[in-house]
Homo-oligomer: A and B are copies of this chain.
Amino acid sequence: MQRLTDYIAQFLIGQGVRDIFMLTGYGAMYLNDAIALSGINYYASRNEAAAPMMAEAYARVKQSLGAVCVTAGPGATNAVSGLAEAWVDSAPIIVFSGQVTRRHTTHNANVPGLRTFGTAEINIVPIVKNLTKYAAVIDEPTSVRYHLEKAVYYATTGRPGPVWLDIPLDVQQALIDPSSLDGFIPPKERWFNTNLTAATNSVIKLLLRAKRPVLVCGHGIRQGGAISEWRNLVDLLNMPVIFSRLGLDLMPHSHPNVFGMAGIKGSRYCKFLMNEADLVISLGSRLAVPFVGHDLEAFAPGAKIVMVDIDKAELSKPGVHIDLPIHADIKPFTQELLKAIDNEKLPDWGGWIESCRELTRKCPILSASQKRNPIDLYYFMSRIDALSQKHHILVTDAGSNYYVGGQVWRFENARREITSSAYAAMGLSIPLAIGASIADKKSQVLAITGDGSLELNIQELKTLSHYNLNIKLFVINNGGYVSMRNWQDTVFEGRRIDTEATTGAGTLNLRKVAEAFNLDYLKIEKHEEIDEKLKQVMSNDSPIFVEVITDYNQKILEPFDR
Q: Using a CB–CB distance below 8 Å, which chain A residues touch chain B?
A: 23-26, 29, 32-33, 35-37, 42, 44, 46-47, 49, 73-74, 77-78, 80-81, 83-85, 87-88, 100-101, 103-104, 109, 111-123, 126-131, 161, 264, 288-290, 294, 296, 311-314, 316-319, 398, 422-427, 455-459, 462-463, 466, 481, 483-484, 487-488, 491-492, 495, 497-499, 504-506, 508-509, 512-513, 515-518
Contact = CB atoms under 8 A, between A and B. Distances in A.
B24 A499 contact: yes
A130 B290 CA distance: 31
A100 B119 CA distance: 37
Contact of A317 (B26, B111, B130, B425): B111
Contacts of A130: 123, 126-127
Contacts of A311: 113, 115
Given A24-B484, A495-B36, A505 B73 contact: no
A113 B313 contact: yes
A515 B511 CA distance: 10
Contact of A516 (B78, B504, B508): B508
Contacts of A313: 111-115
A77 B73 contact: no
Given A115-B87, A317-B117, A74 B29 contact: no
Contacts of A25: 484
A476 to B, nearest CB: 17
B116 A422 contact: yes
Contacts of A505: 44, 46, 462-463, 466
A131 B120 contact: no
Contacts of A37: 495
A498 B44 contact: yes
A319 B118 CA distance: 11
A463 B463 CA distance: 23
B42 A498 contact: yes
Contacts of A127: 80, 127-128, 130-131
Contacts of A456: 46-47, 78, 459
Given A24-B499, A77-B425, A115-B313, 10 more contacts: A33-B495, A37-B495, A46-B505, A73-B423, A74-B81, A74-B424, A104-B319, A115-B161, A119-B288, A119-B422
Contacts of A161: 115
A117 B316 contact: no
* This chain's copy number in the assembly: 2
A459 B458 contact: yes
22 contacts: A36-B497, A46-B455, A47-B455, A49-B49, A74-B398, A74-B423, A80-B80, A80-B127, A87-B116, A88-B115, A88-B116, A103-B319, A104-B296, A114-B314, A116-B423, A123-B130, A127-B127, A455-B459, A463-B505, A508-B517, A515-B516, A516-B516
A319 to B, nearest CB: 7
Contacts of A426: 74
A466 B505 CA distance: 6
A515 B514 CA distance: 11
A453 to B, nearest CB: 10
Contacts of A290: 119
A112 B518 CA distance: 47
Nearest to A23: B498
Contacts of A294: 101, 104
B424 A109 contact: no
A505 B517 CA distance: 11
Contacts of A455: 46-47, 459, 462
Nearest to A428: B74
A37 B499 CA distance: 15
Contacts of A73: 84, 423-425
- The interface centre, meaning the residue of A44, A161, A289 with most chain B CB atoms within 10 A of its CB, is A289
A517 B515 CA distance: 12
A29 B492 contact: yes
Nearest to A319: B103
Contacts of A74: 81, 84-85, 398, 423-426
A332 to B, nearest CB: 22
